[in-house]
A and B are shown apart, each in its own frame.
Chain A
Amino acid sequence: MSTEGSRAADDAATITPYPDGPLIVRGDFEILSPDGEPIPGGRKTVALCRCGVSSIKPFCDGTHKLVKFRSGDS
């Protein structure tokens, strides 16, 4: 959404891994449980846990900072 030239694809979902942090998901997306039930994110842009210690998975709760998660992708 913040990159140039993506205007036409504004509605397409994008997933951005933030360094040492969560995956930020924007655009038109739906998160489903393994049973296919929708998991509401409650907001247009969501953060998905990728350190594994969030207490509100699949969403991020900021705990990656406490466990000094390093994504190694920055």
Chain B
Amino acid sequence: MTATMHTPATQDSTAVFPMTPRGPLSAELMTLLSSAPDDSAPDGSALDRSDPAAGIVLSARSALAAAESITRDEDVQLSLFILYGLHYGSFDAVSADWEWQPSLVAARTVLERAFEAELRATIDVPELPEPTRAAVAQALSALTTAEGGPSLSRYVAKQATREQLGEFLMQRSVYTLREADPHSWAIPRLTGRAKAALVEIQTDEYGSGRFARMHSEIFATTMRSFGLESRYGRYVSDVPAITLASLNVMSMFGINRRLRGAIVGHLAAFEMTSSIPNGMYARGFSRLGYGTEVTAYFDEHVAADAVHEQIAAHDLAGALAEDEPGLLGDILFGAAACLVVDGWAGAHMLDAWTAGRSSLRGER
């Protein structure tokens, strides 16, 4: 039951995707998406025909049943990355007609519900504060400064090798070459003060409309100046499930309106734990002789995120909690999820490096 039985020529999935499958579900998805859907006739006459992607929902359930940890399952996380990629336009050669294919949306929903349930079951959310700006900002501040344990940023500042700095950029590139986009899904999903606060932050993320100042573009310059490629997806094959999970969490929170509290909490926690580590990252690259063309991205985030964290805690998360008190729990959950999942992704790098290993996947 694939699109290959119909007219569009099937391309080799290795020509369409910058990575190889990591299990049956991602393999099936990549094969399916390597052709155009056959029911996209402009007159709509074919829309009643059977959905060429119908089998993918069952495959999604099988993949979940086979996964020990959804957050760390390579097949599930790559599949989610691909499905979100239909909305971001992550794969140039994939037909845009797949974006709202009902079975693909259904498969994504099946994966998301299980992913979200696992996160809610494993992540501790602090006791909920009063739904006021001050109390919510205070609770987020306590949550984001309680971080203990070994620090990736300190390692980068003090001892990362040139090779490890390259790995760091490759791991980060999966999100950062599209920096801010996952949280931007929330703009039309919010109203009132929280929307205005989010726009104030995102405006800065997108360089106030100046292309060269867009954070994603500053990061692309950093990658090229370091000697890496900046084409989106170039290093997806190198990063493990936990790195994809870090991005997939944001995409899931952002694209689902029911989780708008969580995406707001996520952004607050992200911004509130960014300035100081970015200063350390800049120090690490300077230590090995890299100039401002490489460090500009990190320097920019020291100052930018010192602004954003205030807006995010008080004007975004705090105001949203006041305006929609029912979202308070999700705001704290989203913040905790950001810290925990990004903590796992950071720990993956740190553990590999301190053990003398590469943090990248061997496959290619």
Q: Compute how far the CA of A21 lies from the CA of B309 in the bound complex, rounded to whole angstroms.
A: 10
The answer to whether B279 and A61 touch across the interface, beta carbons within 8 angstroms, is yes
Category for how many chain A residues contact B: 20 to 34
Is B302 among interface residues, defined by CB-CB distance under 8 A?
Answer: yes
Count of B interface residues, CB-CB < 8 Å: 29
Assess whether B204 is in contact with A62, with CB atoms less than 8 Å apart.
no
A55 CA to B283 CA, complexed, in Å: 13
- Whole-angstrom distance between the Cβ of A71 and the nearest chain B Cβ: 12
Cβ A2 vs Cβ B303 within 8 A: no
- Kindly count the residue-residue contacts between A and B in the assembled complex, taking CB atoms under 8 Å apart: 72
9-residue interface stretch from B37-45, B195-203, B349-357: B195-203
- B187 interface residue, CB < 8 Å from A? no
| Chain A positions 1 through 32: 1 when the CB is less than 8 Å from some CB of chain B, otherwise 0 | 11000000000000000111110100000000
For B145, the chain A residues whose CB sits under 8 A away are: 65
Cα A69 to Cα B137 in complex, Å, equals 15
Q: Provide a sorted-by-A list of 25 A–B residue pairs whose CB atoms are within 8 angstroms.
A: A1-B196, A1-B200, A2-B315, A19-B134, A19-B138, A19-B314, A21-B309, A22-B310, A24-B310, A44-B208, A45-B200, A45-B307, A46-B307, A47-B303, A47-B306, A59-B306, A60-B275, A60-B306, A61-B275, A61-B276, A61-B303, A62-B274, A63-B276, A65-B141, A65-B145
Q: Which residues of B contact A (CB under 8 A)?
A: 134, 137-138, 141, 145, 193, 196-197, 200, 203-204, 208, 274-276, 279, 300, 302-307, 309-311, 314-315, 319
Residues on A lying within 8 angstroms of B by beta carbon are: 1-2, 18-22, 24, 41-47, 55-56, 59-63, 65-66, 74
